[in-house]
Structure 1
């Protein structure tokens, strides 16, 4: 199926994978590429019966998956990593067609898919348990207790459009590593990419019982979340949808990676040229459609004008255009409405006293990289999640005050800090209400084997293979009465 998906002429049929069978029949939804402005894929939609079938099949498959030894799972994941490299260009092309993501970004995402599967494989080999020190307390003398991490059973992965390949690799790879049967609910904007990643894992040797793939809207996701057979849900997306997932799920284990409006602080001792270049590159990657994309840059006032000029020069040099052109830096946003929303927010900030130094206009779904200087603190481009090709640059005077400004957000995913002052680094790490701090880099940097996640409205749980395997497994305890490896005298 992988070759069929990747070798198809556009529009690609994105099949469902249901109860061990790829299915291309039934009602379909068309995906119009935001840059090419034509139908690029058609997803086979799930109905209520498909949801019930998927849940029942996953429940029946859970025992089969749990019986697969960790070594066997690891070997599959290692082959999946190799296949991600082999099919890098073809899947990157699908990303460009379905999402308008430039080829250079898509290829980078597939490099991360390969890394993610490889790390999942390594973590699979480390799954174990504990010998507990029960004889350290009087009532435990004469007994032995052990634990191991067992598969949760049925896992549900709900993935977003902005990094549909790598974030699916995180969720599906870790769930497979843990020994679960996984149901994937794909984003409507990237059905063919999602089908390709699922097919890739099967091509690597995963049993058909390992995964199912359903396409559809929020109703399909809600029905899957509510199914009592589902033991754990991993969701990446907006705050509002995350809240809906939690309501539908009820008393289930949840990992929610939600929104952000990431801040980066540039201190007076920073290398301004470096900071400007990094913020420009990472503020408009994937047209800013990342929860950790550089959105707010706070610059110490004595260096503010210098930074604004350097940053504007770097942004102006970005190549905007056809995502299928290997030289393109900025393609289109996910759709026209998203681009119009960001352009409107920029115009409102200007009406409230900010300066639009660059951009602010759109052609279809392509928003020209936009720089907004010194907007009011309450402007949408500062207070809300832009999730688009716009960066706001603001001056600050006092370090404690800028930390407070960063913390004024309802979000708390990741922040950046440019400084050589170790005292400031430690203070920011302690005081910033975020899940991660990147020093001498922008907020938009992630290593896929390092814990990643937020606080406040940015969600809870951590996404890295090791952390996710813990979420996808349960601790099972064995108590041996009257049998002890410890001393037995009380």
Structure 2
């Protein structure tokens, strides 16, 4: 029997462990693994009032001070990666190898945010280049925007919290964190680590709860910026509740990968198998739709099926496991149901299609109809659909039929196709000779269409978490005044 990990709220500088709470049932263990103290209305009111005072204290910290704290936190994450990976396995059923990978990314994210904190500055404006500006000087600086609300999802709760909280702190802001109910202990442990590394208590608060807590925080006038990662329905609700304030939304996708006739089919199949089922496919850029040139279609489908059958499925606490459980039984059942619908419409299911509790057997669906849910909707599960195409222009058009546009993959050595795809695909990013599911945390990440607004990565997030402040010096010039 595993001990239950307690996740307190952090409100106005004080940990609040007592009060109404909710247990998280581990999807693989099927028993309580963590317990989160649920934020009440008075907690929200106190947190918002405190954020206004805390904002001033955090803004007074020099960028070098913020950077040093984030670098210490990055080192601590590296030391404690195995501990966090175990928490992720307990709360989410995420295999240890995926959890360790996520924590390596957390360390990178904190280090990058530290470096970007050191680069925050401004500029001298060329005011004397126009007649009315002669005799004057103007400068700008990037100043903290004010209290930030970070709402994080369950699929990568540690790294996406690191992105939001580290970038907000690097920019000089205080942050209220609303973690996912599925990973309260992981989220709380990361906040505790940052505080232990020297982040002042004014820098962060954490309020556990459901959508009602997030909605109240979004609507609060004390919040200057909302950064949300999650589903499209919840994202629309966040934007509506937030009203006229700065809002960044990362809302998912149903990512496409194109395999051209000149591709290394064995390598493409291997990569798609490894990146289509990591974290049970619960990633907004997980491989979902693979379009393969008809001349290589059967070869690829066979190779992918063989690679997927070789994946080790089961206990997320086993270091050898490739695919653990999904977030809950309902999520796994939805994938089973969509697979069956595609099969009834004529698709071939070459492996998988079933579940055991919340563990979804890795599934390959070959040649589903273009209007099947496994093609049109976001599966967010352990399933990859493989479809044939004939012409490159045709497959670009087919990829763009999606209402989402987050990231795409392309396997080819033809530079003209690479440039054409980069120009024509309606996505925020294109990975060449890799699948859609590849991300570096210091590279901008975000989508178009229903995939959201804004870009994640510390440098670009710091821009969203700061405002440009201008200083005009009339009658004082560093330029010629004639």
Fold shared by both chains (TM-score > 0.5): yes
Q: Which among 117, 122, 134 is matched to residue 141 of structure 1?
A: 134
Secondary structure at 1:311 match in 2? helix
Matched residue, 2:286: 293
Question: Given the alignment of the two structures, is residue 262 of structure 1 paired with residue 255 of structure 2, yes or no?
Answer: yes
Counterpart Cα distance in 1 of 2:424 and 2:193:
42
Q: How does 1:271-420 map to 2 (within 5 A)?
A: 271-420=264-413
Structure 1 residues 331, 9: CA separation in 2 closer, same or farther (over 3 Å shift)? closer
Shift of 1:220: 0.1
Of residues 65, 77, 97, the one that matches 1:84 is 77
Secondary structure class of the residue paired with 2:393: helix
Cα deviation per residue 1:320-345 (whole Å; 9 max; x = unaligned)?
00000000000000000000001100
Residue of structure 1 in register with 2:245 after alignment: 252
Which residue of 2 is the match for residue 442 of structure 1? 435
- Which deviates the most, 424-433 or 56-65? 56-65
Task: Determine helix, strand or coil for the equivalent of 1:378.
Answer: coil
Which string of whole-angstrom CA distances, capped at 9 and with x for unpartnered residues, describes residues 308-365 of structure 1? Answer: 1111110000000000000000000000000000110000000011011110000000
Are residue 480 (structure 1) and residue 473 (structure 2) matched? yes
Q: What's the offset of the Cα at 1:9?
A: 5.5
Q: Equivalents in 2 of 1:343, 1:21: separation in Å? A: 45
User: SS where residue 188 of structure 1 aligns?
Assistant: coil
2:57 & 2:26 partners in 1: Cα distance?
A: 39
- Distance in 1, matches of 2:23 and 2:42, equals 21
**Rounded Cα–Cα distance in structure 2 between residues aligned with 1:95 and 1:132:** 48
The question of 1:220 aligning with 2:206 is answered no
Match of 2:13 in 1: 20
CA distance in 1, matches of 2:42, 2:304: 53
Alpha-carbon distance in 2 for matches of 1:230, 1:203 = 25
Q: Is structure 2 residue 158 aligned with structure 1 residue 158?
A: no
Structure 1: tracts of 5 or more residues without a match: 1-7
Q: SS of the counterpart of 2:350?
A: strand
Deviation track 1:28-86 (CA, whole Å, cap 9, x = no partner) reads: 00100000000000000001111111111111100000000000000000000001011
Number of the residue aligned with 2:202: 209
Superposed CA deviations along residues 107-155 of structure 1, whole A, max 9, x for unmatched, are 0000000000000000000000010000011111110000000001100
Q: 2-side partners of 1:42 and 1:404: how far apart?
A: 47
The partner residue of 2:224 within 207, 223, 231 is 231
- 1:6-155, aligned counterparts within 5 Å? 10-155=3-148
Report the aligned-residue RMSD: 0.7
1:451 aligns with 2:451: no
SS at match of 2:280: helix
2:463 aligned partner: 470
SS in 2 for 1:254: strand
Q: Quick one: distance in 2 between partners of 1:464 and 1:133?
A: 30
- Measured in 2, the distance between the counterparts of 1:211 and 1:68 equals 14
Q: Deviation per CA, 1:286-307: give whole Å up to 9, x if none.
A: 0000000000000000000110
Secondary structure of 1:298's counterpart equals: strand
> How far, CA to CA, are the matches of 2:258 and 2:409 in structure 1?
6
Q: Deviations over 1:179-204 (max 9, x none)?
A: 10100001000000000111111010
Distance (whole Å) between structure 2 residues aligned to residue 139 and residue 366 of structure 1: 68
What's the secondary structure of 1:30's corresponding residue? Answer: strand
2:187 pairs with one of 194, 209, 214: 194
- Report the equivalent of 1:4: none
TM-score (norm 2): 1.00
Q: CA deviation at 1:23?
A: 1.4
What stretches of structure 2 of length at least 5 have no aligned partner? none
* Residues 1:242 and 2:227 are matched in the alignment: no
Counterpart CA distance in 1 for 2:162 and 2:210 is 21
> 2:189 and 2:448 mapped to 1: Cα distance?
32
- Give the Cα separation in 2 of the matches to 1:367 and 1:61: 45
**1-side partners of 2:6 and 2:310: how far apart?**
37
For 1:156, what is the secondary structure of its paired residue?
strand
Q: Distance in 2 between matches of 1:76 and 1:22?
A: 21
2:479 aligned counterpart, secondary structure: coil
Per the TM alignment, residue 21 of structure 1 is displaced from its structure 2 partner at its CA by: 1.0
Of stretches 197-206 and 416-425 in structure 1, the one that deviates more from structure 2 is 197-206
TM-score relative to the length of structure 1: 0.98
Question: SS at the partner of 2:261?
Answer: coil
Output the CA distance in 2 between the equivalents of 1:68 and 1:226.
Answer: 28
Secondary structure at 2:481 match in 1: coil
